[in-house]
Structure 1
Amino acid sequence: MADNIIDELAWRGALNQLTDEEGLRALVSEKSVGIYVGTDPTGDSLHVGHLIPFMMLKRFQLMGHHPVIVIGGGTGSIGDPSGRNSERVLQSMDQVQANQKKLTDQMVHLFGTKDFRIVNNYDWLSKISLLDFLRDYGKLFSVNTMLAKDVVASRLEAGISYTEFTYQILQAVDFLTLFTQEDVQVQLGGADQWGNITAGIDLIHRLKGQEAKAYGLTNPLMLKSDGTKFGKSAGGAIWLDPEKTSPYEFYQFWFNQDDADVEKFLKFFTFLSQEEIAELVESTKTHPEKREAQRRLAQEVTRFVHSQAAVDQAEAISAALFSGDVADLSADAIEQGFKQFPSVEVPNTPENIVTWLVDTAKIESSRRQAREDIQNGAITINGTKQTDLDFEIDPSAHFDGKFVIVRRGKKKYFLARVQG
């Protein structure tokens, strides 16, 4: 790991823009710095795309700096126009507060509670009256400058409400408040936050003087080697909430990354050393079929976001699916690992295997085909090959009576969900 956090971030390809690189380098070398990232509670979970600036923030924490996370209970009720080509739909305050609690829990899981603070900008923004907002802050912002910001300029043709137009002022007030009350001198964010970040620094300089040490940096837009945006799979966003994206699906997302992307993602999303990453990159070049780099990437990120137990379970599911030895999987593991396979609902009634496969589960097209597959050893029930035409399937016998797993041939799985 580099001695200076800026060098470390540069090696990892995590720097996009800095307001004053020389000044920031000097600041982080001479003291432990307060640094913040904000996130608005527009949803009930972050996804892996949101994780990017928080990985940077975690690196500051590991090198002895003081992270602060702003949950935007105030700004989230307004809506950030950054990265959008249309107006956001305003959420109810009840929904904002519910989302805020879930995001706070996710942040505590990622950062712990030691030398780390979570604050809510509703606590100070809600106390500013309209007249105070206009007199104390509105007078300090030039409309011409605000219109020139990319986040606003990109919306002028389609239209932008006054509500979203003023968002950058609210975020600027956040930085000023944290600078004054929490000794936060650095704001970190995604590439689309540059205009909002610089607005905050300008406000601090207007009110505290040009010598005030306030800095901003952004991470680059994360793209995959094929030019597509990082963070989604065929099924949609990859969420940090295990109820929205299971730890097994999360693990598989990272394991399935392309060889051309794995070095970049190891640098950005893991805390492995330069030497460890170099070894993994070399293994990808010499033995790409082993996917050692992807496996390590999946292990590291899943452990960070979820737990070691989640890594162990994901790997157990993968091994069971590959070998067909599914008998020892838990019901929870089956729920996670079999989402991608065809499923059917079946009653909790013992039944002859041929009748069950054809009439109940509709896995086989005919009794003749069912008998042929059974006798040829092509049918496996709950991990055990069945060749007896008189075998009776008891749906309550395995996996807490919730599932029956059928494998036809070597790779074709079916999941029967037991009802009642």
Structure 2
Amino acid sequence: MNFLDELDWRGLVKDVTNREGLTKRLEEPIVLYCGFDPTATSLHVGHLQQLILLKRYQGQGHHPLALIGGATGMIGDPRPTTERSLLTDEDLQKNIDGISAQIKRILFADNNPVKLVNNADWLQGLSVFDFLRDYGKHFSVANMIAKDTIASRLQTGISYTEFSYTILQAIDFLTLHKNENVQLQIGGSDQWGNLVSGTELIRKTLGHEVEVYGVTSHLIMKSDGTKFGKSEGANIWLDPEMTDAYTFYQFWINTSDEDIVDFLKRLSMKPVEEIKELEKAFVERPHERLAQKALAAELTELVHGKEGLEAAQRMTDALFSGDIQALSVSEIRSVFANSFTHDVNEDKTLVDLLVDTKILPSKREARQMIQDGAIRVNGEVVKDLEFVVAKKDALDQELTVIRRGKKHYHLINHGSKL
């Protein structure tokens, strides 16, 4: 199995401009690139497939470039439905700094580091006359409006600004080919039209004998039809300040059995045979969630580092065992981010607290659950009906965790005493 065949097996090849030619060309090191527009301060897990693809080429001895769209980010790749909101210069720079740091963290650690480039270096100085004369004349309007990203917007409307995006991306490929000897561009399947625009511009300006390539990969989709990359309706970001290691780890742990093998093939750097063995073990013992645990560990360490992975696993183990006293207050808040939170400004008996916060509907039921050992306070079973939940006994004198039954957690924030 050659490298391109392996990518195919992993579900990472959809369209190729010249598969036979590229297969041959990949026998020797090639310079390739993938673009990332700074539309937010952070990339999210949907970007991982392309980042890890660069890492795969990197591991094969090829030379990857990651392009930051400092100029194209001012415009935005056309979305299927509506125009993008234009970014201010300040927001754009903040986004560039954020995603650049993430790309470096993931791809700079290898002996064959990725090179980071910014298309603002060559596009921002381009005059409108040079744009029209040197590049615009090579593009047919009929061909441009036939591209999926533009055709989908013809009925709802598309500005000339976003209509021009494909030309700017083609200029990127041409510029990188001339300056960095880039011969391959990769991207998601939604980038096919832009990739083809680049290869065509190179041949029209430099000659048809020039051989360059474009490869797209299937976008990651969940089997139930919901959008990949969200948990509880929120994006899973690659910035640790926006998505902590525990939440990131749990996102992969909670991947459905129907999706996990596909995600494992696409996103794990494990060799093919190791993935096949893992798949076999997963099929035989799905309840152990071996595939989910393997992918969660690998990707959490990739994005959050070894310390982040260890913290996420420690927090997961504490939640499973109920030993929450092993965690810091910030870690507890992370673990129970989706649990009910109650602000309490005075010490109360456990019975009163359970009723006043509406954890339980009545004192009779509160007393019964306490006597049955169904209430835990900071991980410890409490059966004393006179037990007082006090700020001085809280974790860091700040937080008390009440567990009702096996799965229902409530956080008590202790304010100042009245």
1:407 Cα deviation from its structure 2 partner: 0.6
1:390 Cα deviation from its structure 2 partner: 2.9
1:337 Cα deviation from its structure 2 partner: 0.7
2:410 to 400, 414, 420: 414
Matched residue, 2:385? 389
| Preserved contact between residue 379 and residue 385 of structure 1 (Cα < 8 Å) | yes
Matched residue, 1:371? 367
Matched residue, 1:49? 46
In the superposition, relative to structure 1, how do residues 35 and 383 fare at CA in structure 2: closer, same or farther (>3 Å)? Answer: same
Matched residue, 1:138? 136
1:9-408 matches, cutoff 5 A: 9-30=7-28, 32-81=29-78, 83-112=79-108, 115-347=113-345, 349-359=346-356, 361-408=357-404
1:95 Cα deviation from its structure 2 partner: 0.8
What RMSD in Å do the two structures reach over aligned CA positions? 1.8
- Provide the rounded CA distance (Å) in 2 between the counterparts of 1:300 and 1:95: 32
1:96 Cα deviation from its structure 2 partner: 0.9
1:398 Cα deviation from its structure 2 partner: 4.3
1:357 Cα deviation from its structure 2 partner: 3.1
Q: Deviations over 1:228-256 (max 9, x none)?
A: 44222332322222232222222122112
- Provide the rounded CA distance (Å) in 2 between the counterparts of 1:346 and 1:213: 69
- Provide the rounded CA distance (Å) in 1 between the counterparts of 2:261 and 2:182: 32
Q: Deviations over 1:274-295 (max 9, x none)?
A: 2211111112221111111111
- Provide the rounded CA distance (Å) in 1 between the counterparts of 2:372 and 2:261: 45
1:396 Cα deviation from its structure 2 partner: 4.5
Q: What residue ranges of structure 2 are gaps of 5+ in the alignment?
A: none
| Preserved contact between residue 247 and residue 336 of structure 1 (Cα < 8 Å) | no
Deviates more, 1:290-299 or 1:391-400: 391-400
| Preserved contact between residue 16 and residue 217 of structure 1 (Cα < 8 Å) | yes
Deviates more, 1:41-50 or 1:386-395: 386-395
| Preserved contact between residue 350 and residue 386 of structure 2 (Cα < 8 Å) | yes
Q: Deviations over 1:352-380 (max 9, x none)?
A: 33333333x44233333333322322221
In the superposition, relative to structure 1, how do residues 199 and 396 fare at CA in structure 2: closer, same or farther (>3 Å)? Answer: farther
| Preserved contact between residue 41 and residue 99 of structure 2 (Cα < 8 Å) | yes
Alignment size in residue pairs: 414
Q: Which amino acid aligns with 1:107?
A: I
- Provide the rounded CA distance (Å) in 2 between the counterparts of 1:86 and 1:338: 36
- Please, what TM-score do these two structures have when normalized by structure 1? 0.94
SS of 1:221's equivalent? coil
Identity over the aligned pairs, expressed in percent? 47
SS of 1:307's equivalent? helix
- Provide the rounded CA distance (Å) in 2 between the counterparts of 1:57 and 1:275: 21
- Provide the rounded CA distance (Å) in 2 between the counterparts of 1:259 and 1:33: 37
Q: Which amino acid aligns with 1:370?
A: A
Deviates more, 1:392-401 or 1:232-241: 392-401
1:202 Cα deviation from its structure 2 partner: 0.8
In the superposition, relative to structure 1, how do residues 396 and 218 fare at CA in structure 2: closer, same or farther (>3 Å)? Answer: farther
| Preserved contact between residue 247 and residue 314 of structure 1 (Cα < 8 Å) | yes
- Please, what TM-score do these two structures have when normalized by structure 2? 0.94
Q: Which amino acid aligns with 2:94?
A: A
Q: Deviations over 1:303-333 (max 9, x none)?
A: 1121222222222222222222211112222
Q: Which amino acid aligns with 1:120?
A: N
SS of 2:263's equivalent? helix
Q: Which amino acid aligns with 1:418?
A: H
In the superposition, relative to structure 1, how do residues 241 and 215 fare at CA in structure 2: closer, same or farther (>3 Å)? Answer: same
- Provide the rounded CA distance (Å) in 2 between the counterparts of 1:63 and 1:244: 32
Q: Which amino acid aligns with 2:61?
A: G
In the superposition, relative to structure 1, how do residues 395 and 65 fare at CA in structure 2: closer, same or farther (>3 Å)? Answer: farther
Q: What residue ranges of structure 1 are gaps of 5+ in the alignment?
A: none
Q: Deviations over 1:158-211 (max 9, x none)?
A: 111100010001001111111111121111101010111111111111111112
Q: Deviations over 1:103-145 (max 9, x none)?
A: 1111111112652211111111111011111111111211122
- Provide the rounded CA distance (Å) in 2 between the counterparts of 1:276 and 1:399: 43
- Provide the rounded CA distance (Å) in 2 between the counterparts of 1:13 and 1:401: 51
- Provide the rounded CA distance (Å) in 2 between the counterparts of 1:47 and 1:237: 7
- Provide the rounded CA distance (Å) in 1 between the counterparts of 2:9 and 2:360: 55
- Provide the rounded CA distance (Å) in 2 between the counterparts of 1:402 and 1:185: 58
SS of 2:25's equivalent? helix
